[in-house]
Amino acid sequence: MLAAMPRLRELQCPVLKDMPALLACRELRSLYLSVSKDASLQLIFPSVAEYLRSAVATIEDLVLDYFEDEGRAQAVDLVLSLAGQRRTTPALKSLRFVFRNHSKELDYMEPQPQLRPLAAVVHRLKHLVSLDIGKPSGELLDALDGEFVPNLERLNVSYNFDCPHEWIHGKKVKELMQRCPRLHVLADAPRRCYSACNCEVCLCDFCTENTCHADLAEEGDFMLFSHPSEASCGVEHDDSEVLIS
């Protein structure tokens, strides 16, 4: 039925048995694809991968929604298909990963396995402007380079389990911002507790020794950038920004 809708522009669906038939929907620009842990899906992942390899030539906005800790190799390796066909540059401008249970999105303490294949193919996503990955991995941060993703302006990450202050000052972040001068890292981070406690946020040794950015834990979410403050960009700035130089 969907294949008979050639002007379809947006679609939200689970992985489907005959997904290559959707290539007839040549106007499709936005896809929200859900991957459940149903054992029967194992047999259809190859056709889903086949579809994605061709579809990313025209799809600009893609969400891959994984149910809980979906870590089966074929489910994870669907990400490799985002590299597209060898002679065609993927059109993806926005790529978002969602990890959820039945009722809400989940924040994991460790980077999810989908980031490993993403690190292997992200250099192919030359039109990418926005990337949302959850907990970041060092491997993926190392793979991001303005030479290969020159349009990347937004990297949304989750940093919800300890104080991010030391991470902000770390080598990985500094080198990332040097390679991607247009990039803004937007992070979900924990707020400091309202009453005294012994959690890792309130008892951060790095914050005790370094008083710069002391308001990070009080504000919660924050944004990193490295371009001159007066330069115009495609991302709205606010009081929670941190300049990386």
Assign domain 2-228 to its CATH architecture. Answer: Alpha-Beta Horseshoe (3.80)
Q: What CA–CA distance (Å, rounded) separates 59 from 170? A: 35
- Does residue 126 have a pLDDT over 90? yes
Mean pLDDT of 226-232: 85
**For the segment 40-70, what is each residue's pLDDT rounded down to a tens digit?**
788 899 999 999 999 999 999 999 999 876 6
pTM of the predicted structure, to 2 decimals: 0.89
Segments making up each domain of the chain, as ranges: 2-228
Structure token pair of residue 201? 């946020």
pLDDT of residue 238: 79
| Residues sharing a CB contact under 8 Å with residue 34, sequence separation 6 or more, in sequence order | 12, 13, 14, 15, 65, 67
- Does residue 233 have a pLDDT over 80? yes
Per-position DSSP letters for 17-52, written without gaps between them: TTGGGGGG-TT--EEEEEE---GGGGGTHHHHHHHH
**For the segment 168-204, what is each residue's pLDDT rounded down to a tens digit?**
888 999 999 999 999 999 988 766 554 455 565 566 7
pLDDT of residue 194: 47
Lowest model confidence (mean pLDDT) among 56-70, 77-91, 167-181, 208-222: 208-222
pLDDT of residue 216: 60
- Does residue 140 have a pLDDT over 80? yes
Closest to 29 (Cα-Cα) out of 8, 15, 1: 8
Closest to 124 (Cα-Cα) out of 148, 151, 153: 148
- Does residue 113 have a pLDDT over 80? yes
pLDDT of residue 149: 98
